[in-house]
Amino acid sequence: MFHSVLSSLDNVVSALQTLLYVDVIQPFLFKVGLMDYDEDTYDALYWVIVGVLEVIAMYALLRPLEALRPAEKWQDRRAVRVDVIYTWLVKLGILNLFFFFTFQPIFDSLQAWLRLHNVSNLEIDNLWPGVTTQPLVAFAIYLVLLDFAGYWYHRMEHRIGIWWELHAVHHSQQQMSLWSDDRNHLLDDILQASFFAAVALVIGVEPSQFVVLVAITNLMQSVQHANIRLHYGWLGERLLVSPAFHRRHHAIGYGHEGTRYGCNFGVLLPWWDMLFRTASWNREPEPTGIRDQIGAPGVAAVNYGDGFFQQHWLAFRRIGARLASSRARNRADSDTDAAAV
C-alpha cells in the first residue's frame, strides 16, 4: 500500500517533470547555449516540483487555520514577508539534493573499500529480514534515525556559540508563521543539508526515499511554526511535535537562551526531549524571539536585521564579535597566569 502510494506520487511528479522539461526548460537551455547541463537540470527539476507542490499544500492547509485560530493577532504581517523568501529558497530543495548526490560517490568508494576488507556495510533495512525489508517499516526506521540525528544537530546549534549566532537568525522572528521554518542563515542551511545527506547515505536511504523523507519533515515543521493555537492532547503531544510544543522552544526566556538553556529541541518526535529531559509541556502561547532583542534598562536592544541580506550580514558580525571577545578573554587569562608565576 505504502509503496504503491509513493509510486503514484512519483509518477505524477515525473510526468510534470518531463512535460516542463521538454516544453520549457530544454528549449531555454538550447537557446542560451547551456545544453551541457541538461541532464543535471532535468534531475534537479524533480526536486523543484516537489518543493513547489509542498509550498502550495502548506499554504492551502495552514493559512486558513492561522486566520481562524491564531496563537497571536498582529497589527500587520510585514515581518513575515522576508520568511516567504527563505521558504521559496529552501523548499525547492536544491541544497539537499546537491549534497546527497555529491556525497554519493564518496560513500560508494567507502563501501567498496569496506567490502574489499571484509567489513559489513550498514544495511538498516536488512536488520530483520521479512520485517525491516518491508518498505513502510524501513521508511519508519529511517525517519526515526534521522529525527534522532536532527535532535542533536538542533541542540548543538544552541550549545556552540558561533553556531548559535547563525541559528539566531531563525529565532529572531517575533511573528512566527507557516513561513518561519525555513528562516535560516544560508550557511546554516548548507551545514544542515550536508549533515543530513551524510547521515542518510550512511544508514542506506535510497534517493527516492530521501526526497519523501525531506518533504515530510519540511511540511511537518511548517505546521509546527504556524501561527496556530493548537496542541494534540496529552497523548498526541508525546507522540508528535505540535505547534504548542515547538512554540515553547521559541518562547523568550524559556525555549532558548543562546548557549545556556533550552527545551523542546525535537524535530518531529518529542521522544528525545522526554528521554534527555529537555521537554517542557506548557501550552500557553508566549511571545517569541530572543531576549536581547527587547533590551533592558541601560542595555540597548540587539538588532538581528529586518531584511534577508541584513540578517545574514549581522550574523557574521556577531560571530566576529564573539571570536574577538574569546581572544580577549584568553589573553587576559594568560596575563593573569603570567603575573601569578
The residue ranges of every structural domain in the chain are 2-72+79-330
Grid coordinates of 42 = 532535468
pLDDT digits (tens, 9 = 90+) for 38-68: 776 787 788 788 888 889 989 999 999 999 9
Q: Which residue has the higher pLDDT, 220 or 331?
A: 220
Q: Is the pLDDT of residue 339 over 70?
A: no
**Other Cβ atoms within 10 Å of 269 Cβ, number:** 19
The pTM is what?
0.83
Q: Which residues contact 140 (CB under 8 A, 6 or more apart)?
A: none
Cα–Cα distance for residue pair 210/10, rounded to 1 Å: 13
**Other Cβ atoms within 10 Å of 313 Cβ, number:** 12
Confidence of residue 173 (pLDDT cuts 50, 70, 90): very high
Q: Is 288 helix (H, G, I), strand (E, B) or coil?
A: strand
Q: Which residue has the higher pLDDT, 232 or 23?
A: 232
**Other Cβ atoms within 10 Å of 241 Cβ, number:** 24
Scanning 69-134, the segments in alpha helix (DSSP H) are 81-91, 94-116
Q: Once rounded to an integer, what is the mean pLDDT over residues 221-235?
A: 92
Q: Is the pLDDT of residue 15 over 90?
A: no
Confidence of residue 307 (pLDDT cuts 50, 70, 90): very high
Q: Is the pLDDT of residue 28 over 90?
A: no
Cα–Cα distance for residue pair 242/126, rounded to 1 Å: 32
Q: Once rounded to an integer, what is the mean pLDDT over residues 125-149?
A: 78
Closest listed residue to residue 218, CA positions, set 55, 6, 46: 55
Q: Once rounded to an integer, what is the mean pLDDT over residues 199-213?
A: 79
**Other Cβ atoms within 10 Å of 27 Cβ, number:** 11
Closest listed residue to residue 183, CA positions, set 154, 152, 225: 225
pLDDT digits (tens, 9 = 90+) for 68-103: 999 998 888 888 999 999 998 887 766 656 666 666
When the pLDDT of each residue in the chain is averaged and rounded to a whole number, the result is 83
Q: Once rounded to an integer, what is the mean pLDDT over residues 138-146?
A: 88
Q: Which residues contact 198 (CB under 8 A, 6 or more apart)?
A: 99, 103
- Beta-carbon-side half-sphere exposure of residue 286 (alpha carbons within 13 Å): 20
The angle, 0 to 180 degrees and rounded to 10, between the axes of the packed helices 308-340 and 161-171 is 150
Cα–Cα distance for residue pair 170/174, rounded to 1 Å: 10
Q: Is the pLDDT of residue 10 over 60?
A: yes
Q: Given this model, what pLDDT does residue 138 score? A: 80
